[in-house]
Amino acid sequence: MAKTAELKIPADIEFRVIGNAFGLLIASAGLLAGSMVRERSFDYWLDDIVPLVIVLWLLFRLFRNLLSTVTLYRDAPPIHRTRSAATAISPEQVIMGQIPARTVPTPEQVVEEVARRIDAKKAESEKKNKFMN
C-alpha cells in the first residue's frame, strides 16, 4: 500500500511569502551593488558569493511558499458573501444628518460688526476708567 503524503501548511504562510519577497528585494539590492554589476562581468561572481547565495536561498523559499499558498487557497472552500439588505433611509434622517449652510457675511457687514465691537470696548474701558478715578 502506498502512503499518502500530508501537506503541512503553516498558519502564517502569507506573512512568510511577504517576508521572503522583501528579503529577496533587499538581497537583490546587495547583489546590484556588488562587483559583478559594477564591472559588468560574471568573472567576479566569487566576490559576490554571499549575496548570490542569499538571493538563491530566498528565491527558493519564496517559490516554495508561493506554491504552498496557491495549494492552500486552491483547496479551500469558496467564500460566499451574502448581500446585506440595504436599510431604507427616510428624508427626515437625511435632512438631520446634513450640515447647515452658513452664509458668508458681506464686507459691509464685517466692517459694521468690527465697528460695533470697537465701540463696545471703548464704552467698557470708559466705565473702568470712571470707577478707577
Residue 133 pLDDT greater than 60, yes or no:
yes
* pLDDT at residue number 123: 92
* pLDDT at residue number 117: 95
Question: How many helices and strands (H and E) does the chain possess?
Answer: 5, 0
pLDDT more than 70, % of the chain: 81
* pLDDT at residue number 59: 92
* pLDDT at residue number 31: 82
What residue segments make up the domains of the chain, in order of their start? 13-75
CA distances from 81 to 78, 84, 86, 87, 109 (A): 10, 9, 15, 18, 57
Residue 1 pLDDT greater than 60, yes or no:
no
Which amino acid, 82?
A: T
Please give the Cα distance from 69 to 16 (Å, whole number): 10
Residue 90 pLDDT greater than 80, yes or no:
no
Please give the Cα distance from 28 to 34 (Å, whole number): 10
Residue 99 pLDDT greater than 80, yes or no:
no
CA 62 to chain centre: 24
47 versus 76: which is more confidently predicted?
47
Query: Can you tell me which residue has the cell 517576508?
Result: 19
32 versus 25: which is more confidently predicted?
25
pLDDT more than 90, % of the chain: 19
- Say what the pTM is: 0.46
Please give the Cα distance from 84 to 68 (Å, whole number): 34
Report CA dihedral (91, 98, 96, 88) to the nearest 10 degrees. 40
Q: How many residues are recorded in the chain?
A: 133
